[in-house]
Amino acid sequence: MEPSDILKILKDEGFDEAVVSTSSTRSIYIKIANSKVDSIVEKKNERGRLFVSKEKKVAFSNIERPDKQSIKLAILNLKQAINIAEPKPDYYGIAEGPFKYRSNFIFDKKISEISIEEASEIANQAISEFDVENIAGTLHLSSYTYSIATTKRVEASTMGTEARLSLRIFKNGFSMQDYIASRQLKEIDVSKIKNSISMLEYTNDTGKVKSGKYDIIYMRSPAGLLFSNVNDMACIDSVEMGSFLSNKLGDKIANRDLSIYDDGSIESGIDSSPFDEEGYPTQRTPIIKNGILKSYLHNYSTAKKYNTKSTGNAGLVNPSPNTMVLYHRKKKSLEKLISSIDKGIIVTNTWYTRFSNYLKGDFSTVPRDLAIYVEKGSPKFVIKNLGSSFGIGIRISDNILRMLEKTTSVVNDTTQSTSWDSDSYYYTPSVLVEEVNISTV
Amino acid sequence: MQEYEGIADYAISYGLKQGFDYVEAYLESGGSFSYSRKQGNPNSSYKSKYSGIRLRLIKKGSLYTYSTNIISKERIKEAFKFSGFKGEKVGLSEEKAEKYSYKVKERIKVEDSYESAVKDVEELDKSLNGLAYRSISISLGKYENLFVNSEGSRVYSEIPYISSFILIIVKDANDSRQKLIQLGNTGGYEVFKWEEIRDNIEEEINSLKKVLKEGISLSKSQINGIKNVVASSEIIGIAVHESIGHPLEADRVFGREAAQAGTSYLMPSNLGLKIGSKEVNIFDDPTIKNSYGFFLYDEEGVKARKKQLVKKGIQNELLLNREYAKALGTKSNASSRSDFYSNEPIIRMSNTYLEKGKADFEELISEAKNGIYIKSFTEWNIDDTRSFARYQGNEAYIIKNGDIEKPVKNYKLEKSTFDFWSSVYLLGNDFNLYAGTCGKGEPQQGVPVMHGGPSALLKFGGK
C-alpha cells in the first residue's frame, strides 16, 4: 500500500496530524577476513512507520509489513501509545506542504540489480589488488525506495543507492583502514585506497613518543568522526539537554577560517534525500561559518518553538543531522602540511570517541591504526608504544572547542568518508589541529 | 509466531532438496513500548510489533545469511538461489540436536505494564527536578524466537525485558558533572525495583554534586604517582567487558572482525596467555536469572552454560560459536547471538564478570593505605588490540592512611591490560552486575549484556 492510501485510513481515526512513511530496502554485506571473502549477508525488507499527534500528544508505531492486517495492528498500537502519552507542551505540529523538491539525487540501477555472484566477484577483485600480509573489510551495496505522505499536503518519494568498500590492510605489523563510498558502483575504485595506504611504507622505522602536546593531522575519516559531533550536538534537543554548543549562538567558537555545515541536499551524498522525515525540503545549513556559531538544527516544531525556520532536519520529535561538511579557507597539499609541523603525529583512524563532559566538550579518542611521528617537517617513524602486534598505544585527550579553534589548515582532499565507528557519512578533508594533548601507555 | 513455523520447516526441507550442506531458519517476533521524557516534559511514546525470518545456509563451504520480513515461501525460495562464492570454506562443530522450549516467567506481564512504566518514569522524573539537565527513556517488550536447523534442532524461547537510560547533569557556575545510567533486565515488570532505582539515582546525584563542589584536581605527576587503586565493581565490570570479554571472542582472535570491531592481544599462537594475577577468575554466564544478557540456548541452537574465560590469571576458554569450535576441534560454548533477526549471529558476550573474593570493603581501603578509590566512570575507551584502556573517573576519592578522604575531579585509570589485571591483589566480597549494550559487527549490532564483579584492590607498584 502507498503512504497516501494508509493516510486515508488514518484520517478517520481522530488524530490531529499524521505522517506515514514506507520503505523497501535491499542490502548486501560481503565480509572480507584473512584476505578472503568470508561470508555474505543479504537483507530484503518492506516496512512502514506512522507518526500521529492529538491534542499535543505525539506517538509512533511501525508497520510490520505493507499489508492491511499490519496497518490495522499499527493503528491499534498507535491508539494505545497516544492514550498513555501526556501532552508534549513544546510540540507545535508538522510542516505544512506542498513543497518543491530537487530531483537530481543519484540512483544506480546497477547496485539495485546486482547479483550475489557479481558482488562477491567485486570483493575478490579488490582483494587481489593488494600484495600484503592480510586484508579485512566489508563491501556493502544497498538500494532503497522511500515514500512519505502527511496530513499537511506532503506526498513524495525518493530512491537511493549506496556502495561502500572498507579495507583494512596489514603490513609489517601495522595496519591502515580506508573507505570509498558513493551512490554509484563505478566510483568504487580500489586504486584510491591503494594511494591512501601508501603511508604503510613508513613502517620500516618505529619508535615511541611521550605524553604531551603534538600538532595532529587527522586524515579524512578520523577528522569526520570527530567533527561530526558538532552536527550531533547542534541538534536543538541536544542543545536543550546540555551540549558544548548550548548558549553560544553568535559566539566565535572555532578558527575564523573554519566552517561546518549540515547538508542533506548533496546529490552524491549517501545520506542525502530531497526531504526530511516530515517532508520538508533538505538544505545546506551553516552551523559554524568562519568560526561563528550560526545555527542549530531544527524540524518544523522545534523551529516554531524558537521562532525560526526548519533546517530540514526532522526527526519528527527530535531533529537529526544529515551530512556534515567541513570547509576551511587555508588549504595545502599533505606534503606542505607535514612540512609545516615541528612536532606532530599523523593519525589515520580513530575509534571510541567518548565525551566525559558534554557541556564543556571534553573527550578522548584512540588512534586505531597507523600513527606517524613527524619532526621538523618530516615523517620520522611509526609510533609503537605497545609491544603487542598491531597496538599503537597512544590516546588523544582534549576538548572539542579547542580542536575547533586550533584547526588551522586542511589538505585539499575532501571526499565522502565514514568510519566503522559511525553510522553516518561526512565530507571532510584531512585537517591540521595544533597542540593536541596526547597520553601514552 | 505460530503462523510462520511452517515456513521455517519448509525452508529446511526445501534447502536440503536443493543440495545445501547446512540450513537453519530463525524466526523472530517481538513487540515493545517505549516512552521518554526530557527536561521534565514528555518527549515521545512508541509502540511497535515486528517479525521476520533469517536463513543461514552453507553451500560447498560458503556461508550465506538471508533475512526478510516478508515471511513467504516465495522469499524463501529466492534465498536458495545462492550458489556459493570463491573464498572462506566454513565448517561447523558437531553438536547435539536440541529440542527445547522455554519462557521467562513474568509475575507482572510487560504488555500489561505500559501505563505503570509511564507513571514510574514520571515519578522518577519529578524526583530529578532541579537538575541542570535530565532525560529518561524506558523500553519494555518481548522477543519470541524459534530456531530450527537441518540437523534436527528445534528451540523456542520467549524472553520479556525492560531497559532504561537516565542522563543526569549537575552544574555550577564553572563546571559540570554528568552520568549516563543504563538499567536492563529480562523478566516481568516486577524486575525493575523502582524504589531502589530512585534511591540509587539520588545517591548518584549527591555524589556528582559532592565531587563538583568539593573535588580537587590532581597534577599529572600526582596521578602517575598513585600505585594503589581500589576499583569499584562498576570499574571492574567495564574492564572485564572491554579488556577480557572482547579479546577472548574467537572471531577476533582468528581475524574475522579485523576491519570492524577489531583484533585482540590474543592470537592463535598465544592461546593460554597469562593475563593477570592468580586472583583473577573471569566468567561469562548467560544463564543468570533475570540478567540482561540472559538466554538458555544461543542462536545456533546450542545449550548455554557458564564459561570460565580466565582461570587464576591464565586465559582459559574462548567465547565460541560452531564455526570457531570446529576450527579448534572442540564444541561450541553457545556464544552465537544477534541483535535482530535481520543480522548475522556472531560471537558475543552475555553476562561477564570477575569472581568475587572475601575481603570487606574497609579491608580493601585499609590495605591500600595510600592511593585512590575510583567508584564510577564517565568516558572510557580501549585500543584495537584491547591492550590499552582508560576509565575516566567520575567519582573518585583520595585514600590516605587507610581512610577515604577528599573527592577527586580528574583521576584517569589509564593502564595496559596486562598491568591492570596483573595488579589485582585483593578481591572484595561485594558483587554487582551492570547492564550495557555491546557493539560489534557490520552493520553494527548492539546486544544486551551485563558486566561486573566485586570491588578490588590493584597494586601497580607490586606487593
* Beta strand B445-453 pairing with B412-416: unpaired
Residues in a beta bridge with B90? none
* Beta strand A394-399 pairing with A134-150: unpaired
Query: What's the pLDDT tens digit per position in B311-337?
Result: 999 999 999 999 999 999 999 999 999
Q: Which of B354, B344, B337, B397 is nearest to B373 (CA)?
A: B397
> Which of B1, B246, B260, B343 to probe by mutation at the A interface, max A CB count within 10 Å?
B260
CA distance A276 to chain B (A): 19
Provide the chain A residues 232-271 that lie in CB contact (below 8 A) with chain B.
237, 240-242
Rounded to an integer, what is the distance from CA B304 to the centroid of its chain? 16
Please name each of the domains of chain B with its CATH number: 2-214 (3.30.2290.10), 220-459 (no CATH)
| C-beta atoms surrounding B126 within 10 Å | 9
- Contacts A–B by Cβ distance under 8 A: 271
Say what the pLDDT of residue B1 is.
82
B308-328: buried (b, 16+ CB within 10 Å) or exposed (e) per residue? ebbeebebbbbbbbbbbbbbb
| C-beta atoms surrounding B343 within 10 Å | 21
Is some CB atom of chain A closer than 8 A to the CB atom of B388? yes
CA distance B358 to chain A (A): 32
Please name each of the domains of chain A with its CATH number: 3-190 (3.30.2290.10), 205-440 (no CATH)
Q: SS3 breakdown of chain A: % helix, strand, coil, rounded to 5? A: 25, 40, 35
Residue B411: DSSP 8-state = -
Beta strands in B150-204 (DSSP E): 154-171, 176-186
Say what the pLDDT of residue B463 is.
60
State the ipTM, two decimals: 0.96
Asked if the model's pLDDT at residue A172 lies above 90, the reply is no
Say what the pLDDT of residue A390 is.
63
The minimal CB distance from A33 to the residues B258, B385, B390 is found for: B258
| Measured distance CA(B458)–CA(B266) in Å, rounded | 23
Classify B438 as helix, strand or coil.
strand
Q: Which three cell numbers stand for residue A38?
A: 568470508
Rounded to an integer, what is the distance from CA A415 to the centroid of its chain? 13
**Are A365 and B381 in contact (CB < 8 Å)?**
yes
CA distance A314 to chain B (A): 14
* Contact between B174 and A359 (Cβ < 8 Å): no
pLDDT band at residue A35 using 50, 70 and 90 as cut-offs: very high
> Which of B36, B39, B49, B251 to probe by mutation at the A interface, max A CB count within 10 Å?
B49
Helices and strands: H and E segment counts in chain B: 10, 22
Helices and strands: H and E segment counts in chain A: 10, 23
Rounded to an integer, what is the distance from CA B9 to the centroid of its chain? 32
| Measured distance CA(B160)–CA(B294) in Å, rounded | 10
Task: Identify whether B453 is preceded by a cis peptide bond (ω within 30 of 0).
Answer: no
**pLDDT digit string (tens) for chain B, length 463 residues:** 888 999 999 999 999 999 999 999 999 999 999 999 999 999 999 999 999 999 999 999 999 999 999 999 999 999 999 999 999 999 999 999 999 999 999 999 999 999 999 999 999 999 999 999 999 999 999 999 999 999 999 999 999 999 999 999 999 999 999 999 999 999 999 999 999 999 999 999 999 999 999 999 999 999 999 999 999 999 999 999 999 999 999 999 999 999 999 999 999 999 999 999 999 999 999 999 999 999 999 999 999 999 999 999 999 999 999 999 999 999 999 999 999 999 999 999 999 999 999 999 999 999 999 999 999 999 999 999 999 999 999 999 999 999 999 999 999 999 999 999 999 999 999 999 999 999 999 999 999 999 999 999 999 987 6
Is some CB atom of chain B closer than 8 A to the CB atom of A24? no
**Are A386 and B262 in contact (CB < 8 Å)?**
no
Query: What's the pLDDT tens digit per position in B437-454?
Result: 999 999 999 999 999 999
Please, which residues have CB within 8 angstroms of residue A170's CB and are 6 or more apart in sequence? Answer: A132, A133, A134, A135, A136, A390, B258
Q: Which of A124, A117, A269, A133 is nearest to A190 (CA)?
A: A124
Residue identified by cell 522450549 is B101
